[in-house]
């Protein structure tokens, strides 16, 4: 168990959490829609996150979607996501996001990692994800 200060340093550091943005959302869509439709599933996931239908996902929309995904993925409803619950997320990316190394992602750890994804994906730094940024 790491100290909270170490947790903060790691979270704010330059370390890149190597989960492609919306990868989890895509993975869930793939789980629901079956294999062989990645592009369609990705576009559907993007459209689902784009609540106001303006063709872009802003931070508020992204945050809402993250929360939904967290509780959807938390199948045993214990308030934390294990690697088993996160279909399609690789072990290294999971470990990088698991700041306190307890083998599960809290909502805070999950949203922190996903927010880093947002920032990494927002190529032009305008606070909006457009399909050409998110669907690569
Ligand atoms: Ca939008
Ligand atoms: Ca759980
Ligand atoms: Ca954890």
- C-alpha 48 to ligand 1 mean position (Å): 10
Among 112, 103, 16, 32, CA closest to 73: 32
d(CA 113, CA 111): 5
Tokens of 31: 């789980």
Which ligand sits nearest to residue 128's alpha carbon? 1
Which ligand sits nearest to residue 72's alpha carbon? 2
Predicted local distance difference test score (pLDDT) of residue 7: 40
- C-alpha 82 to ligand 2 mean position (Å): 6
Predicted local distance difference test score (pLDDT) of residue 17: 36
- C-alpha 134 to ligand 3 mean position (Å): 26
- C-alpha 95 to ligand 1 mean position (Å): 30
Predicted local distance difference test score (pLDDT) of residue 23: 55
Predicted local distance difference test score (pLDDT) of residue 114: 85
Predicted local distance difference test score (pLDDT) of residue 117: 81
Q: What is the pLDDT along the chain (136 residues), one digit of tens a residue?
A: 444 444 434 433 333 333 444 555 555 544 444 444 556 667 777 888 899 999 999 999 989 888 888 888 899 999 999 998 887 777 888 898 999 999 999 999 999 988 888 888 888 999 998 888 876 6
Which ligand sits nearest to residue 62's alpha carbon? 1
d(CA 136, CA 126): 18
């Amino acid at each position: 168990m790491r100290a909270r200060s170490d947790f903060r340093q790691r979270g704010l550091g330059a370390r890149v959490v190597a989960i492609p943005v919306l990868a989890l959302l895509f993975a869930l869509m793939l789980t629901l829609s079956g294999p062989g439709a990645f592009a369609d599933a990705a576009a559907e996931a993007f459209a689902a996150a784009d609540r106001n239908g303006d063709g872009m996902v802003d931070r508020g929309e992204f945050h809402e979607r993250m929360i939904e995904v967290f509780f959807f993925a938390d199948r045993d409803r214990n308030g934390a996501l294990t690697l088993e619950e996160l279909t399609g997320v690789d072990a290294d990316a999971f470990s990088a996001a698991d700041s306190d190394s307890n083998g599960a992602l809290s909502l805070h750890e999950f949203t922190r990692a996903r927010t880093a994804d947002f920032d990494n994906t927002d190529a032009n730094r305008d606070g909006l994800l457009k399909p050409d940024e998110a669907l690569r």
